[in-house]
Structures are given as structure tokens and as C-alpha cells.
């Protein structure tokens, strides 16, 4: 068997793990390795990663705060806008009411003036109509007298008496 | 077919123990009668990087090489990867942050907030073990954590740290860990003995769990690889088995690192808060 063949060389047991002649070597290099890793991690890597994670957490917190701030500002702006809108609306209503009142006043004024003018013109017209009517009546009397005297002259040329004729015509016209 | 292969495997297993010990001359001997013998333990042999001389404590060996690679990769990931300090992390920085968060949360959850000063120490253990385990899965590599000398040192360091911290923080109250005050008085001395034994067995189980898992998985892969070598072109079954076991080993590599770390946290919690 192979065991016999190697007996001379093998002072150590079957597993290389149990060959204690290599132990000092392994332990020495392990200690070196662990110390180096520990120094790398504790001096450089872990503080750096911790800082990065903390910074990220801080950034996220800040961003959330900033977002909330912006949201609040947006809400404020909306409130202000609504308020301005309401004010503008009420102001517009006031202005409209004022304008309406003014217009109404002007309208009433103008109407009154127009009424007065119309009344004046109507009175004037009435006066003229009365004048014309009187003129017409006078003309009728004259025409009637003329016509009557002509008729009388034509029918009874001897019996002409102008004064009596005029009196008779006037009498008839009044009647 | 497979029965035959198994017999070969068993022979080889019996033989290789001795073979492996003959570290330096072994390669020549193996090639002489190749195809019949499987040497699953050869991968664990410690040999000098330069020359064939004896192994002193300072000799640069394959242990040195693979530990150095682990250190380099850890530095690459944790230092170079986080160089940007970006608020929106790059890929490497994400991995580094993930590892940081994973271990930190473990320490906080298991051992409590007052264990955070030990976080760099526990992070060191976790990073070393996880990188050594995964580097061991690279073909032709050397698994430093499959060596009981390495895992025992790690476990012993944890044991000593925890014991010293326990006594420094709590004084003699730390002995309350062994005196189960919630148990009936007559039972307490017996429980104390059991607790004491279990306390001192901790580093043993702690180290053998990691080393044994690593060693067994790699040895099994090597055995199947030996079968594949013997069968030649028709080695479909061994290759499928190697693939399956390799997948399992990836899982084991991480889980063992996790288990080692979380047990460290549990022991630390006992040291900081010894009351039951």
C-alpha cells in the first residue's frame, strides 16, 4: 500500500491540517492578515462607508424637509391666489355696481332733460297750433263775409248793407 | 461501474492521508500511478512558495499567497470600491455598503448597541472568512479556512476577547453566566458544571464547524473530480455531481462565514449582558 511507501517521509498524520509543523507558519500569516484587514477596515473603509451612509441619510432627510417646505410654499401661494381672486371678484362687483349706479343716474338725468325738452317743444307746438287755429277761424270769418257779400251783391245788388251783413255773419259763426 | 469507482475512492482515501504528508515529493509519485488514485487532501498541503526548504514560521507559503489575495480583494472592494464616496453608489460601493450594513445590523440586533465598538473586529472576521471561503472555491486555489490552525486561532481570539470583555465589563458578575438563577437551587451546581463545560467547548465547536465544513466540501469535490479523471470522456455523472456540490459549497461558503460571525455576536452578547 501507499502508506508503507510514504511511511518514511510521513512523520505527520494523514490530514495536512494536523501537520503541526506548519502551524507556526499559518498562525503567523493569519495574524498578519487579520491585523492588516483590521487596519484597512477600521482606519479607512468603515469610517468612509459610515460617513457615506450618514451623508445619504442626511441628504434624504434634507430633501424630504425641502420637499415639505416647497409643498407648504405652494399651499401658501394657492391661498394667496385664492384670496387675491376673491378680492378681485368683490372689487369687480363693487366697480360694476358703481358703474351701474352712475349710468342709472346719467340715464335719469338725460331722461329728465329729454322729458323737459319734449314738454317744451310740445307746449310750443300747442301754442302754434292754437295760433294757426285762431288764424284759420279769422280767415273763415273773412271768407264767409266776403262770400256772403258777393252772394248778396249777386242776388240783390240794391240791398247791399255791408255792416249788417258782417254783423249777421259774425252772429252765425258764433252760434 | 460506480461500485468499482467507489472502491478505488476508498483505497485512495486511505492512502492519501499518508501521501499528502509527503508534500513535496508527492506530485511525482502521483503522476507515476495516475488514474487509479485520488488525492482529495493534497489541496490542503502547505508548501513554500519558493523552493523546497523547510517551513519556518516566516516562510512565505501558499497560505501567505492566498491570505494576501484575500487582503487585496477586501481592500479593493472596501477601499477602492468606495473611493467615490458617492451619494448614489457605484456597483462596488453598493456591495461594500451591503456588507457593512449586513454585519452592522447583525452586531446591533444580536449583541446590542453597546457591542458596536467591536463592529470593526467582527467585520474583519466576517470579511476574512467570507473571502477565504470563496477564494477556496476557485479551482487550483488553496483554502486557508479549511485549516484547523487558522480557524482555531480565529475562534480562540474570539473566546479570549469575549472572556476578557466579560470580566472587564461585569467583574465577577460575569460568573453569573454559569449560575442559572432561574433554575431550582439544587440543580444550579449541576447546571453550572454543564454551563462551564459548554463555555469552554465553544471555541472548539466554533473552529471545527468552519474548518470541517470547508475541508469536507473541498475533499468531496476532489474525490468526484478523481472519478471524472478515471472515467475519462464518459464522466457525466461525476461532473454533474461536482456541479451540484459546487453549488452547495457556494452556499456553505457564505453560510459558514455568517454562522461564525453571528456566533461571535452571540458570545459577545453573553459577555456584555451575562444575566440569563
Q: Kindly report, residue by residue over A143-153, the tens digit of the pLDDT.
A: 888 888 888 88
More confident residue, A3 or B148: B148
Q: Which residue of A has its CA nearest to B157?
A: A31
pLDDT digits (tens, 9 = 90+) for A43-59: 999 999 999 999 999 99
Q: What is the pLDDT of residues A114-125, one digit of tens each?
A: 999 999 999 999
Report the pLDDT value the prediction gives residue B11, as an integer from 0 to 100.
43
| Closest alpha carbon to B199 in B177, B168, B223 | B177
Enter the ipTM.
0.81
The residues in B 173-212 lying below 8 A from A, measured between CB atoms, are 211
Helix (H) or strand (E) holding A150: helix A46-155
> Hey, are the CB atoms on B41 and A16 less than 8 Å from each other?
yes
Q: For B182, list phi and psi in degrees, rounded to 5.
A: -85, -10
| pLDDT tens track for B113-141 | 999 999 999 999 999 999 999 999 998 89
pLDDT in tens, A16-37: 888 888 899 999 999 999 999 9
CB atoms B128 and A32 under 8 Å: no
User: Domain residues of chain B, as ranges?
Assistant: 2-28+37-51+58-272
The sign of the dihedral angle between the CA atoms of A35, A37, A38, A40 is positive
Q: Which residues of B touch A63 (CB under 8 A)?
A: none
Q: How far apart are CA A47 and CA B39, in angstroms?
A: 45
pLDDT at position A10 is 40
pLDDT: which is higher, A76 or A172: A76
Residue from B52, B118, B87 nearest B271 by CA = B118
Task: Nearest chain B residue to A52 by CA: give it.
Answer: B85
At residue B4, the pLDDT reads: 42
Instruction: Kindly give the parts of chain B with pLDDT less than 50.
Output: 1-35
How remote is the C-alpha of A87 from its chain's centroid? 11
Q: Select from B41, B61, B121 the Cβ nearest to the Cβ of A38.
A: B121
CA distance B60 to A20: 17
- The answer to whether residues B50 and B41 touch, using CB atoms and an 8 Å cutoff, is no
Residue A93 C-alpha cell reads as 362687483
Helix (H, G, I), strand (E, B) or coil at B137: coil
Q: What is the pLDDT confidence band of residue A168, given thresholds at 50, 70 and 90?
A: confident
pLDDT confidence of residue A160? 66
Q: State the Cα–Cα distance between residues B266 and B261, nearest whole angstrom.
A: 9
A33, A44, A46 member nearest B123 (Cβ): A46
With 0-12 / 13-18 / 19 or more C-beta atoms within 10 angstroms meaning exposed / middle / buried, residue A127 is exposed
Q: Helical H runs in A7-45?
A: 23-39
> What band does A164 get if pLDDT is binned at 50, 70 and 90?
confident
Cα of B174 to nearest chain A Cα, Å: 28
Q: Do B89 and A42 touch (CB under 8 A)?
A: no
The DSSP symbol for B61 reads B
Distance (Å) from the C-alpha of residue B195 to the closest C-alpha of chain A?
29
| Shortest Cα distance, chain A CAs vs residue B53, angstroms | 12
- DSSP assignments along B45-80, one per residue: ---BSSSS----TT--BHHHHHHHHHHHHHHIIIII
Chain B, 99-128: which have a CB under 8 Å from a chain A CB? 100-101, 119-121, 123-125, 127-128
Would you state the cell numbers that stand for residue A33, as one nine-digit string?
492578515
pLDDT at A129 over 80: yes
Amino acid at each position: 500500500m501507499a502508506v508503507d511507501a510514504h511511511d518514511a517521509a510521513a512523520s505527520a498524520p494523514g490530514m495536512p491540517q494536523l501537520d503541526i509543523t506548519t502551524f507556526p507558519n499559518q498562525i503567523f500569516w493569519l495574524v498578519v492578515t487579520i491585523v492588516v484587514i483590521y487596519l484597512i477596515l477600521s482606519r479607512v473603509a468603515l469610517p468612509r462607508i459610515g460617513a457615506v451612509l450618514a451623508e445619504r441619510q442626511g441628504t434624504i432627510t434634507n430633501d424630504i424637509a425641502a420637499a415639505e417646505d416647497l409643498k407648504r410654499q405652494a399651499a401658501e401661494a394657492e391661498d394667496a391666489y385664492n384670496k387675491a381672486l376673491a378680492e378681485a371678484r368683490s372689487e369687480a362687483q363693487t366697480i360694476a355696481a358703481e358703474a351701474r349706479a352712475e349710468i342709472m343716474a346719467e340715464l335719469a338725468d338725460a331722461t329728465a332733460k329729454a322729458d323737459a325738452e319734449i314738454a317744451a317743444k310740445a307746449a310750443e307746438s300747442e301754442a302754434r297750433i292754437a295760433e294757426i287755429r285762431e288764424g284759420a277761424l279769422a280767415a273763415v270769418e273773412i271768407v264767409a263775409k266776403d262770400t256772403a257779400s258777393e252772394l248778396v251783391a249777386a242776388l240783390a245788388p240794391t240791398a247791399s248793407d255791408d255792416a249788417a251783413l258782417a254783423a249777421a255773419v259774425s252772429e252765425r259763426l258764433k252760434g | 461501474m460506480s461500485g468499482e469507482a467507489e472502491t478505488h475512492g476508498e483505497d485512495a482515501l486511505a492512502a492519501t492521508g499518508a501521501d499528502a504528508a509527503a508534500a513535496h515529493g508527492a506530485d511525482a509519485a502521483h503522476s507515476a500511478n495516475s488514474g487509479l488514485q485520488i488525492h482529495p487532501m493534497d489541496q490542503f498541503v502547505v508548501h513554500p512558495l519558493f523552493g523546497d526548504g523547510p517551513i519556518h514560521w516566516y516562510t512565505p507559503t501558499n497560505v501567505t499567497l492566498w491570505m494576501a489575495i484575500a487582503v487585496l480583494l477586501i481592500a479593493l472592494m472596501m477601499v477602492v470600491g468606495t473611493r467615490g464616496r458617492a451619494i448614489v453608489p457605484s456597483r462596488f460601493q453598493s456591495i461594500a455598503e451591503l456588507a457593512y450594513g449586513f454585519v452592522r445590523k447583525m452586531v446591533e440586533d444580536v449583541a446590542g448597541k453597546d457591542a458596536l465598538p467591536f463592529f470593526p473586529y467582527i467585520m474583519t472576521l466576517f470579511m476574512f472568512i467570507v473571502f477565504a471561503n470563496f477564494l477556496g472555491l476557485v479551482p487550483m486555489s488553496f483554502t486557508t479556512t479549511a485549516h484547523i490552525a487558522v480557524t482555531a486561532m480565529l475562534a480562540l481570539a474570539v473566546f479570549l476577547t469575549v472572556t476578557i470583555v466579560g470580566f472587564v465589563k461585569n467583574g465577577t458578575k460575569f460568573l453569573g453566566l454559569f449560575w442559572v438563577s432561574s433554575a431550582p437551587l439544587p440543580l444550579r451546581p449541576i447546571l453550572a458544571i454543564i454551563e462551564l463545560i459548554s463555555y469552554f467547548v465553544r471555541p472548539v465547536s466554533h473552529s471545527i464547524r468552519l474548518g470541517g465544513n470547508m475541508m469536507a466540501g473541498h475533499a468531496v469535490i476532489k474525490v468526484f473530480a478523481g472519478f471524472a479523471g478515471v472515467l475519462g470522456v464518459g464522466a457525466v455523472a461525476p461532473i454533474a455531481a461536482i456541479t451540484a456540490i459546487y453549488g452547495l459549497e457556494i452556499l456553505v461558503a457564505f453560510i459558514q462565514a455568517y454562522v461564525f460571525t453571528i456566533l461571535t455576536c452571540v458570545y459577545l452578547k453573553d459577555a456584555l449582558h451575562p444575566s440569563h
